[in-house]
Structure 1
Amino acid sequence: MIHWQTFDGLKLAGYLARPESRRTRALPGVVLCPAFPSAANGGKRAADRLYPLADRIAQNMEWIALVLNYRGCGDSEGDFSLDGWTDDVLSAVDHLDGLEEIEGIWLAGFGIGGALAAHVAQEDLRVRGVATMGAPVDFDHWGLDASGVVEYARSLGIITTPDYPDSVDSWAKAARSIRIDRCAAEIAPRPMLVLHGSDDREVSPLDARAIADAHGDAGLRIISGAGHRLHSDPRCIAILLGWLDSQITLIP
C-alpha cells in the first residue's frame, strides 16, 4: 500500500502494482477507479476487488497500475463527496505522472469511478484514454434525495465527520453539475471505451449510449446478460485488457 497527499492536504491510500520484469524503460500507467462501495463491503474494502486486476495488468501486460482509495475509503482520510473524489482521481494521476518510468496515463473506472475518470480526463490532457464500465451519464437523481445519499454514505463509513457536509444543498448542487456526456465530448478525439451490462438495474444501458454518442468515436460494448458489477464479469475484463493493450501504439 502506498500513500500520497491531495491538494487539500488529505492522505490517500492506494495499491500500486508494477511488473516484476520489463523489456522497456518507459511503461504505460493506468489508474483504476473503483465503484461506489456496496453495503456488503462498505467503504473500508471498496477498492479491494480491483487489486487482483491491477496485478494482472502489471504482470501480464507490463503496465503500472494504481488502484485508488477515495477519501473516506480504505485507509484514506476525509469524507465522501463527488467533487472531493474527483480531486482524488486527479491527485492519483499526479502521483502516477511523478513516477520516473511512466510514459502515458490512462484511466479506467467502474460505475461512479468511470464517471469520475471521464470528468477528470476532459480537462487533463495527460490522460491519453478513458474506459468506463457501468458509468452513469449524470447524478441528477442524487440531487432529488441528497440527504438520503449523505446518510447512506455515513452508514457505509465513507462519511464520519459529524455535521458533514456543511450544506447538503451545495453538496447536491456539485453532484448535479457533473455531466458525463459533456465530458465525453471534450475527451474526443482521445480514445474512449464504454462498457455496460444489458441487465444493469442500477444504471440504464441508455446512459452508455448517450456517453458513447457524445464522444463520437467511442468503442461501445453492451455485454449481454451482465449487471452493474462488471468488475466480476470476465467478458468485461477481457475487453478492457484488450483495449488497454491496443493503446500501446499511442506511446511514442
Structure 2
Amino acid sequence: MGANESGVGAGLSPVGGNLRFSSDGLSLAGYLAQPSGARASGHGVVLCHGFPNKGRGAENSGKSFPELADRLSASLSWPVLTINFRGCATSEGNFELDGWQRDVAAAVAELTSLGVTAVWLVGFGTGGSLCICEGASNPAVVGVSAAASPGDFDDWARHPRALLDHAREVGVIRDAGFPADVGEWARGLAATRPVDRVAELAPRPLLLLHGSADEIVPTVDPLALADAHGSAEFRMIDGAGHELRHDPRAVAMLTGWLSRTSRLVE
C-alpha cells in the first residue's frame, strides 16, 4: 500500500494526499482524494491522464488531475486515485504502452488495498483507451469512462521510430538506451487495441465522451468502441476539442453518469 505523504481536509472537503506505489518495480506518483466524514460505499475511481503533448511535456502530465480528483471525490463521496504513468511527472521509468497498461492494473490494486471493492476507471485520451483494456480483463472494475480516446494505436505501431522521437522530445522517454529492443516495444503498440477488447467489458457500463471539434481522435473511434461494446452511452459535446478534462460539460456528464450508474451495480 502506498503511504500518504501530505494533506488534511475538513468538513465536506476531500482529504487529499500524494502517495507512491509500485508498478513493475518502478515507483509511480499518485494523488488520493478521500471524502471526509462520509460513509464508505465501497466505490472508488482510478483517474488516468493521456499522452503529453509538446506544449505540456512529461513533467506536467496530469498536473491538473488532482483538482479533478478532489472534485469527483467531493461530489460522489468516493475515494479517487489519480496517477502519473511511468515516464511522466515524478514517476520513474520510460514510456511503453503495454507498461502504461500495467500501471493501470497497479493503480487498481492500490485502490482495492485501501478497501475499495467496486473500482471505476476514468481516463482521458490514451488513458481512457487503457482503462477499457484493463476493465476488459479485471473483474474488480465495475465500469469505465473514456473521453477522447482512440480505439487502437495502429498509427503509432506503423511508425514506431517517429513515435520514439516524439516521446523523447516530450520527455516520456528519458534514458538514451531505451528501449533495448525497438521491435518488442513496437509490438506493445500494435497489441493494444481497445476496440478488440471492449466487448469483454460488456455488459458492465461504459461511457464514451467526445468533442465534435476534436482534431486528434476522429469520431469514428468512439463510435466503433460503442458499437463493439453493445450498450455503451455515447455523448458528443458540441464544439469541444480534445482536452475534455477542462470542459465543464464533460466533467458534469461524467459525474452524473458515475452517480447514476453506480446505483445499478450496488
2:75–2:255 CA contact under 8 A, matched in 1: no
Secondary structure of the equivalent of 2:137? coil
Please state how far the C-alpha of 1:250 moved relative to its aligned partner: 4.0
* Unaligned 5+ runs, structure 1: none
Name which of 70, 86, 92 aligns with 1:55: 70
Q: Residues 1-252 of structure 1: matches in 2 within 5 Å?
A: 1-6=18-23, 8-22=24-38, 24-100=39-115, 102-252=116-266
Please state how far the C-alpha of 1:26 moved relative to its aligned partner: 3.2
1:27–1:62 CA contact under 8 A, matched in 2: no
Equivalent residue pairs, number: 249
Question: What TM-score results when the alignment is normalised by the length of structure 2?
Answer: 0.91
Q: Which runs of 4+ in 1 moved over 4 A?
A: none
1:4–1:11 CA contact under 8 A, matched in 2: yes
2:20–2:29 CA contact under 8 A, matched in 1: yes
Secondary structure of the equivalent of 1:122? helix
- My pick for the range that moved more, 108-117 or 157-166, is 157-166
| Structure-2 separation of matches of 1:26 and 1:222 | 30
Secondary structure of the equivalent of 1:130? strand
Cα deviation 1:169-216 (Å, max 9, x = unaligned): 221121011211122111000000011111111110110100000000
- My pick for the range that moved more, 63-72 or 165-174, is 165-174
Percent identity over paired residues: 42
| Structure-2 separation of matches of 1:40 and 1:201 | 16
1:27–1:64 CA contact under 8 A, matched in 2: no
| Structure-2 separation of matches of 1:25 and 1:175 | 38
Root-mean-square deviation (Å):
1.1
| Structure-1 separation of matches of 2:80 and 2:172 | 24
| Structure-2 separation of matches of 1:209 and 1:150 | 29
| Structure-2 separation of matches of 1:60 and 1:196 | 22
Please state how far the C-alpha of 1:27 moved relative to its aligned partner: 3.6
Please state how far the C-alpha of 1:57 moved relative to its aligned partner: 1.0
Please state how far the C-alpha of 1:251 moved relative to its aligned partner: 5.0
| Structure-2 separation of matches of 1:89 and 1:9 | 14
| Structure-2 separation of matches of 1:25 and 1:174 | 38
2:142–2:265 CA contact under 8 A, matched in 1: no
2:117–2:140 CA contact under 8 A, matched in 1: no
Cα deviation 1:134-178 (Å, max 9, x = unaligned): 010110100222111111111111111122111222211210112
